[in-house]
Chain A
Amino acid sequence: MGKSLLDKVWERHSVRELESGQTQLFIGLHLVHEVTSPQAFAMIREAGLGVPFPDRTFATVDHIIPTDTQVRPLADGQAETMMSAIESNCREFGIRLFTPESGHQGIVHVIGPELGLTQPGMTIACGDSHTSTHGAFGAVAFGIGTSQVRDVLASQCLAIQRPKVRRVEVTGRLRPGVYAKDVILDVIRRLGVKGGVGFAYEYAGEVFDAMSMEERMTVCNMSIEGGARLGYVNPDRTTVEYLRGRSFSPTGDAFARAEAWWTSMASDPDASFDDRVSIDGGGIAPTVTWGINPGQAIGVDEKVPAAAAFAADERATVEDAYEYMGLAAGQAIAGTKIDVAFIGSCTNGRLSDLREAARVARLGRVKPGVKALVVPGSQAVARAAEAEGLHETFRAAGFEWRLPGCSMCLAMNPDKLSGRQVCASSSNRNFKGRQGSPSGRTLLMSPAMVAAAAIEGAVVDVRDFLSKAPA
């Protein structure tokens, strides 16, 4: 019987089995940001512990950093305190920090891959649930809490239970206008927001084989929204080519050795899985959320479903969603008016996302009254986009072009919804209050769909939109 990638990575990184039945698992790459780390550093200091592997941890600032100006001191005193804290913590423990001055700052899950820090066969941890993003490379990547950040700092290990593995196969080919974001929204819609609890998702099949690394990252990023703490795609040629020439990638002969090891970590053809599902990729439509969790999603050409269509124990959440969102069962989601459009986040803030959104932005202007933001995921993404003139395209169409950060994905910075504003968003969570206003409303969709919604002032099928445009 063959082994899955998870089996192989687990074996290679297992330090020992603990009395509790958990594994002491070595963490190859630890990523840190300013929100979930200060308490962990404080605990390390109080307990008199050290950081034995400082060169396996890298830090950045993303959550609280403003996207209009990043001049210090930051206007928000608390944000400035957090910035200063991560700076002094990293200095004290010898950890490399990517500040805006470094030219490599950005959202933690964007910079890891683009710097070549994220590699196949690694174990990765970060005090952030979207660490699942790094699974796109065939890494086993966990989101952890602050106490576990402390554990990794102190020991480069986690005490953790091995998850089960579900192979999620998406077959066939995606139709035009359907993006990686639609694929993962569709997977979550089918398997549910708790369907993945206790599982790692192995994404496989023609649709993932054909995807770029950036698209795979979008999919793996949202594994956690389906309840799966991690998700991964087996490393292949696409993975290897992406890594060639990156700052932290091996070079020369070492790259050849790396390539051999990376591809050897992929699941064997006869690997066994705890569960398998298969979805026809050709049947996936551009998808939009209508509710208050990412599983409450429909095709853009569908109507808000009736509560009766859900399992009995889901109905209370569905009723809650109608009320919060101000939507009724049977109502078409297309045509829903929006106030704000947000393109960015670790789900969809990479160059290819901005390119797709810019393609749409060339077709019109942001509807008067709509506030539209484009926030590149990192300084490197911003530079690449600007080299192609995408910032000019966006500005000409009435979008604001911002500095890199998490921005309105979670609104721990000045970018926030107000009141009951409705936001078409390329981010990953439509939870109540997620975008900074306790009554703000979020509709998740692909970046191209967000750009189309910004122009239309309402949710619109990006395919109709593109077809109306001159060829």
Chain B
Amino acid sequence: MTDQAKKSALLPVTRVSGRPIPLPGNDIDTDRIIPARFMTAITFDGLGELAFRDARFGADGKPIEHPMNDPRFQAKGPRVAIVNKNFGCGSSREHAPQAMWRWGVQALVGESFADIFFGNCVAMGIPCVTASEADVTALQRAVEADPSQDLVVDLDAMTATRGGTSVPVSMPEGARTQLLRGTWDATRILVDALPKVRETADRLPYVGGFAR
């Protein structure tokens, strides 16, 4: 059974608490998160080790400076990534959030997210919340200075809290509702309406080959 299937549907995601890790930079594309050469496989297994591979290791295989290599950010357990603008742009590859999730990232706080990446995360039960540029930058700095305190993303209160400090975060209402109600895995809900789906299909002239 895949990990994804184990993380069963109808599991509300209201609050994610984890070790924060800043992944600074705008327009971080999904090729950067998981290079295509690691996608020649029929499962998502083992992608965690390969997340940000080329940003973390040089051609000689030696580690280069990157937050994911920084000893201060190696504590095990759930993690919350702090990112900047347009995170996850480019390729639709779900391998990208799958790699991050397998590396422990269970929530992201950022200035903005690319549409497909955001949708993929929702479908995996990973909240991506946005905060203002000032709050995100301040949070990244604070975490750099002291990585030891957990960051808590609360979808009820719509806050990201670290130590005694909370900042307001936002998320499109639809996605938030899905996470809070545990309906982020949409498959069952969609399948439930199959009779209505067939009615909709029957009303579309092209489905019948424009026979009428």
**Which of A52, A85, A154, A432 is the one whose CB lies under 8 Å from B54?**
A432
- Contact of B201 with A53 in the complex, beta carbons under 8 Å: yes
B97: A residues at CB distance < 8 A: 145
Binds B, one of A19-27, A273-281, A339-347: A19-27
A39: B residues at CB distance < 8 A: 2, 4, 42-44, 94
Considering the chains assembled together, what is the distance between the CA atoms of A150 and B29 in angstroms? Answer: 23
Considering the chains assembled together, what is the distance between the CA atoms of A63 and B38 in angstroms? Answer: 13
Q: Does A143 contact B (CB under 8 A)?
A: yes
Q: A13-B200, A39-B2 are in contact. List 20 more A-B contacts (CB 8 A).
A: A12-B204, A20-B173, A24-B189, A38-B42, A42-B42, A43-B4, A43-B5, A49-B191, A129-B116, A148-B123, A198-B115, A229-B116, A257-B212, A261-B205, A316-B25, A429-B90, A432-B31, A433-B54, A434-B31, A438-B35
Q: Known contacts A145-B116, A254-B211, A429-B31; is A194 also within 8 Å of B85 by CB?
A: yes
Instruction: Quote the shortest CB–CB distance from A429 to chain B (angstroms).
Output: 6
Nearest residue in B to A315 (C-beta to C-beta)? B26
Instruction: Quote the shortest CB–CB distance from B109 to chain A (angstroms).
Output: 17
- Contact of B2 with A154 in the complex, beta carbons under 8 Å: no
Q: Does A304 contact B (CB under 8 A)?
A: no
Q: Does A36 contact B (CB under 8 A)?
A: yes
Q: Known contacts A46-B2, A155-B191; is A20 also within 8 Å of B86 by CB?
A: no
Near B by CB (< 8 A), chain A positions 309-326 give 313-314, 316-317, 320
**Which of A14, A16, A49, A431 is the one whose CB lies under 8 Å from B90?**
A431
Count contacts on A: residues with CB < 8 A to the other chain.
89
Nearest residue in B to A29 (C-beta to C-beta)? B206
Instruction: Quote the shortest CB–CB distance from B147 to chain A (angstroms).
Output: 21
- Contact of A433 with B85 in the complex, beta carbons under 8 Å: no
Instruction: Quote the shortest CB–CB distance from B170 to chain A (angstroms).
Output: 13
**Which of B43, B54, B210 is the one whose CB lies under 8 Å from A254?**
B210
A193: B residues at CB distance < 8 A: 27, 86, 89
- Contact of B197 with A412 in the complex, beta carbons under 8 Å: no
B212: A residues at CB distance < 8 A: 257
Q: Does B203 contact A (CB under 8 A)?
A: yes
- Contact of B25 with A432 in the complex, beta carbons under 8 Å: no
Could you list 28 A-B pairs, sorted by A, with CB under 8 Å? A14-B200, A15-B197, A19-B177, A19-B183, A21-B177, A22-B174, A26-B200, A28-B204, A28-B207, A39-B43, A43-B2, A46-B1, A82-B41, A143-B116, A144-B119, A145-B94, A145-B116, A146-B94, A146-B95, A151-B186, A154-B191, A155-B187, A156-B197, A161-B172, A193-B89, A254-B211, A313-B84, A410-B91
- Contact of A433 with B123 in the complex, beta carbons under 8 Å: no
Instruction: Quote the shortest CB–CB distance from A320 to chain B (angstroms).
Output: 8
A317: B residues at CB distance < 8 A: 25-27
Instruction: Quote the shortest CB–CB distance from B141 to chain A (angstroms).
Output: 15
Considering the chains assembled together, what is the distance between the CA atoms of A144 and B116 in angstroms? Answer: 6
Of A39, A85, A128, chain B has the most CB atoms within 10 Å of the CB of A39
Q: Does B72 contact A (CB under 8 A)?
A: no
Near A by CB (< 8 A), chain B positions 176-209 give 177-178, 181, 183, 185-187, 189-191, 193-194, 196-197, 200-201, 203-207, 209
A410: B residues at CB distance < 8 A: 31, 36, 91
Q: Known contacts A198-B115, A229-B115, A412-B39; is A258 also within 8 Å of B5 by CB?
A: no
Considering the chains assembled together, what is the distance between the CA atoms of A145 and B35 in angstroms? Answer: 16
Q: Does A404 contact B (CB under 8 A)?
A: no
Instruction: Quote the shortest CB–CB distance from A8 to chain B (angstroms).
Output: 12
- Contact of A147 with B35 in the complex, beta carbons under 8 Å: no
Q: Does A79 contact B (CB under 8 A)?
A: yes
A434: B residues at CB distance < 8 A: 31, 36
Q: Does B37 contact A (CB under 8 A)?
A: yes
- Contact of B42 with A82 in the complex, beta carbons under 8 Å: yes
Considering the chains assembled together, what is the distance between the CA atoms of A298 and B158 in angstroms? Answer: 41
**Which of A38, A122, A255 is the one whose CB lies under 8 Å from B43?**
A38
Of A36, A154, A198, A433, chain B has the most CB atoms within 10 Å of the CB of A433
Near B by CB (< 8 A), chain A positions 227-254 give 227, 229, 250, 254
A293: B residues at CB distance < 8 A: 27, 29, 89
Of B43, B186, B212, chain A has the most CB atoms within 10 Å of the CB of B186
Q: 1/0 contact trace for B103-134 toward A, CB 8 Å?
A: 00000000010111001100110000000010
- Contact of B115 with A197 in the complex, beta carbons under 8 Å: yes
Considering the chains assembled together, what is the distance between the CA atoms of A38 and B133 in angstroms? Answer: 38
